[in-house]
Amino acid sequence: MLSVRETVKRFIESEGHKVDATPIDPDTGSSELLFRTRGQVFSVTTNEGDERTLSISTAYEIPEWAREPDQNAEALERARKDHPTVTFTLAHDGSLFVATLDQEAESTQELMHAFWILVSRLRDAGTQAVEDIVDRTESKAAAEKFINSFMMGDGQ
């Protein structure tokens, strides 16, 4: 019988994508599978002790000019409220965040059946978070520019 890791790996490969599989912890049987789609790398974590759950993660780099950890944490909290099945975690000193979707089903086959829907849901959540971070920062920058300009004009 195939391991959970091998089942998931073969499924993603059968859908057209190259997969790098790495054992994370031989004692617990957890593994990480990496693949790319639409230019983004996704990580799938499987566990041999629990074939009914898997975790899908992807990382988004935050533009340098938008790295404001407190405000970005608030943006990720807003994204989490809109996408309650997705967890957002700031990492690497606020230079990126990781979006993770944990899914449970009756079987590995059921998870595979919904796999691209889950990837799409995770991608939508991550994209919304990025847009919130960037849009808010741009709005703030524009507001500051306006205020500075106004204040300069006011003082002349």
Partner 1 sequence: MSDPLRAIELALRDEGLFFTRDDDDDARRIAFKSEGDRYFVVSYRDDPSFIMIGSGWALPPRVDPAQAIDVANALNVRKKFVKTALWQEESDVLFTVELCVNSASEVRPHFGRLLNVLRDSATEFFDLLRPGEI
Q: Report the residue number, 15 or 138, with the smaller CB distance to partner 1.
A: 15
The reply on whether position 37 binds partner 1 by CB under 8 A is yes
The reply on whether position 61 binds partner 1 by CB under 8 A is no
Q: Report the residue number, 118 or 133, with the smaller CB distance to partner 1.
A: 118
Cβ neighbours, 10 Å, residue 76: 21
The reply on whether position 15 binds partner 1 by CB under 8 A is yes
Residue 2 has φ and ψ, to the nearest 5°, of -70, 145
Q: Which of 16, 49, 153, 155 binds partner 1 (CB under 8 A)?
A: 16
The reply on whether position 131 binds partner 1 by CB under 8 A is no
Distance CA 44, CA 20 (A): 10
Q: Report the residue number, 40 or 71, with the smaller CB distance to partner 1.
A: 40
- Give the DSSP letter string of 87-116: EEEEETTTTEEEEEEEEE-SSHHHHHHTHH
Which residues, in sequence order, are bridge partners of residue 46?
31
Nearest to 17 by CA among 32, 30, 3, 34: 34
**Site mask for partner 1 (CB under 8 A), range 62-101, x = bound:** ----------------------------------------
